[in-house]
Amino acid sequence: MTHQQIPDIPKEKFTFINRSEEIHDEKLQTKAIGYLGDAWIRFRTNKSAVVAFVLIMILLLFAIIVPLVSHYTVAFRDGYYKMVLPKNNLFAGSGFWDGAKNEQQSEAGYLYLNAIGQETGESAIVKVYESFQDSTGATFYRVRTDSYASVGFVYVNLSENEYNALMQYQEDTGIQVLYPLPQTLSKHFVRGNDGANFWYLLKDEAQGTTGAPQLDENGQYIANYMSSDDPQRAGYTSTRIAGDGENGVYYTYAQKNQTGYRVRVHYKEYFNYINGFYASFLFGTNVYGQDIFTCLAVGARFSLLLAISVAVINFIIGVIYGAIEGYYGGAVDMILERISDILADVPFMVVATLFQMHLAAKVGVVPSLLFAFVLTGWVGTASRVRTQFYRFKGQEYVLAARTLGASDRRLIFKHIFPNSLGTIITGAVMTIPGVIFSESMLSYLHIINLDTSSTLTSIGTMLSNGKDYLSTYPHILFFPAVFIAILEICFNLFGNGLRDAFNPSLRGADD
């Protein structure tokens, strides 16, 4: 380029532009956006990821709060409210989520449920849709039965103190809990709780009953209580049911035995007396009478806690290991790579099982599971970190920093690592759904066994408890299955959102 020569410009023609202050570069008017801020802006625009994140937070809150506020615990096992249906008191009587289900009952079954309603005043049959006769002439009813009310009565053994306290409770509140004992059935018709619901006379009892009641001429049940002329038999001084004490005949409310008293209680009221609230299980109960709602929260808390700790531990180990491999390269890399190769090839099931066999008895089921996840889990993170290090370590700014005398540690953690952070965090989040799945699978197959634990349960355990009742009580399976499905979908969506936010170039690569 040739310069055009301008000869002889007189000196006066030159003026200073700005003499009053120093000249700076113009300051940026906008605020600088950092790496994370930038990612956050991109993440925000991804609606499905944001929804997934909100859902994860809700599920997390559910898992944290529910076990704290719930009436029930994992250790709570009710022997009578087994496999009762989901019930929300807000929906009582609405025909949905009310703890009732539609079923078909024979005449004997219909009258059995009806009798419970008659004695307690709270009907076990919510609704009768229709009755019909089959080809043999037997009558059947299509009814909606309340799974809570159909528990009806149970026999319990009380100590002397408990017995007196319960009588006192009856007098104080006016709620009838104790009901007269029926005559012992000569042939036990096995239905309900040890026959505690048969307070009425049965047909054909001499020949072996079918459970159908003997009705009087008005079609009413005939009471079949134990009775005597002593109103205070077995020390009973409390309130009596209607119709008791007529003609000097008093029903018997308790029997003395070696340890105390055997009584017959209305289970709904008795449950309230013992626990201080009426039974109502939002998601129903399982085969052990555990509250599914609480178990689900405890199981979710366990899964999430395990998955997040695994992700964090694997992140730390993986980053250190991968950084050493990637930064130093050469022989160090070769040797470390072979070790992680071998670890990566060990099937996870083998590791998990061996850890359970060796360590479960010594350090507990959960820590040994955690070890199993950590042992092979960090390999993925390490190889990701290694790749990122190979990518960045030759770049000019790293060389410049090295020339300025930065130490290895400073180069690794200040210069290279922050640049690869996005990819690594995404990878760590993506391991969470995998861990949740593996954990539920292992506990489903009983390779890790949480059945006996009184404080812990897992979604897999709940699923395996429910699988035999798929056709009869699908709610036992339904809630854990839906829960884990939502959890997995949310974590995958969230992970994808993170990946897109950190690496815009990969957007949509495999979603």
Which chain residues interact with another protein by CB under 8 A? 341-342, 345-347, 349-350, 353-354, 357-358, 433, 437, 440-441, 444-447, 463, 467, 470-471, 474, 477, 481-482, 484-485, 488-489, 491-493, 496, 509-511
Closer residue to another protein (CB): 122 or 488: 488
Asked if 469 and 463 touch (Cβ cutoff 8 Å), the reply is no
Q: What's the closest the beta carbon of residue 356 comes to another protein, in angstroms?
A: 8
| 3-class SS letters over 203-269 | CCHHHCCCCCECECCCCCECECECEECCCCHHHCCCCCCCCCCHHHCEECCEEECCCCEEEEEEHHH
Taking the C-alpha atoms of residue 213 and residue 221, their distance in angstroms, rounded to an integer, is 7
Strand 250-251 vs strand 178-179: parallel, antiparallel, or unpaired? Answer: unpaired
Our CB check for another protein shows the closer of 414 and 446 to be 446
Pick from 268, 235, 318, 282: which is nearest to 92 by CA? Answer: 282
Pick the closer one to another protein by CB: 352 or 370. 352
Q: How many residues does the chain have?
A: 511
Smallest distance from the beta carbon of 277 to another protein, in angstroms? Answer: 32
Nearer to another protein, 134 or 510 (CB): 510
**Residue 216 is which amino acid?**
D
What is the Cα–Cα distance from 389 to 318, expressed in whole angstroms?
13
Q: Give me the least distance between CB of 115 and another protein, in Å please.
A: 31
The least distance separating another protein from the CB of residue 139, rounded to whole angstroms, comes to 26
Name residue 127's beta-bridge partners. Answer: 144
Quick check: 49 and 498 in contact, CB under 8 A?
Answer: yes
Q: Which is nearer to another protein, 180 or 480 (CB)?
A: 480
Burial class of residue 369 (count of CB atoms within 10 Å of its CB; 0-12, 13-18, 19+) = buried
CB of 330 to another protein, least distance (A): 19
Q: Quote the least distance from Cβ 21 to another protein, whole Å.
A: 53
Provide, rounded to whole angstroms, the least separation between the CB of residue 484 and another protein: 6
- Residue 13's Cβ-count burial label (10 Å; 0-12, 13-18, 19+) is exposed
**For residues 138 and 334, which CB has a smaller minimum distance to another protein in the complex?**
334
Strands 254-256 and 100-106 come out as unpaired
SS3 448: coil
Least distance from another protein to the Cβ atom of residue 470, Å = 6
The strand pairing partners of 155, in sequence order, are: 264
The nearest distance, CB 287 to another protein, in angstroms, is 16
DSSP 454: S
Q: For residue 336, give Cα distances in angstroms to 316, 321, 331, 350.
A: 16, 8, 9, 22
Residue 144's H or E segment, with its range, is strand 139-146
Inter-residue contact 107 to 140 (CB < 8 Å): yes
- 112 versus 378: smaller Cβ distance to another protein: 378
Q: Considering beta carbons, is residue 149 or 487 the nearer one to another protein?
A: 487
Q: Which is nearer to another protein, 99 or 433 (CB)?
A: 433
How far apart are alpha carbons 294 and 484 in whole angstroms? Answer: 15
The number of C-alpha atoms within 13 Å of 392 and in the hemisphere containing its C-beta is 24
Structure tokens at 338: 């072979």
SS (H, E, C) 171-217: HHHCCCCEECCECCCCCCCCCCCCCCCCCECECCHHHCCCCCECECC
Least separation in angstroms between residue 340's CB and another protein is 12
Give whichever of 358 and 410 is closer to another protein, judged by the CB atom: 358
List, in sequence order, every residue forming a beta bridge with 145; answer none if it has no partner: 101, 125
Closest approach, Cβ 280 to another protein, in A, equals: 26
**CB-nearer residue toward another protein: 215 or 349:** 349
Indicate the residue among 149 and 484 with the shorter CB distance to another protein: 484
Least distance CB 187 / another protein (angstroms)? 34
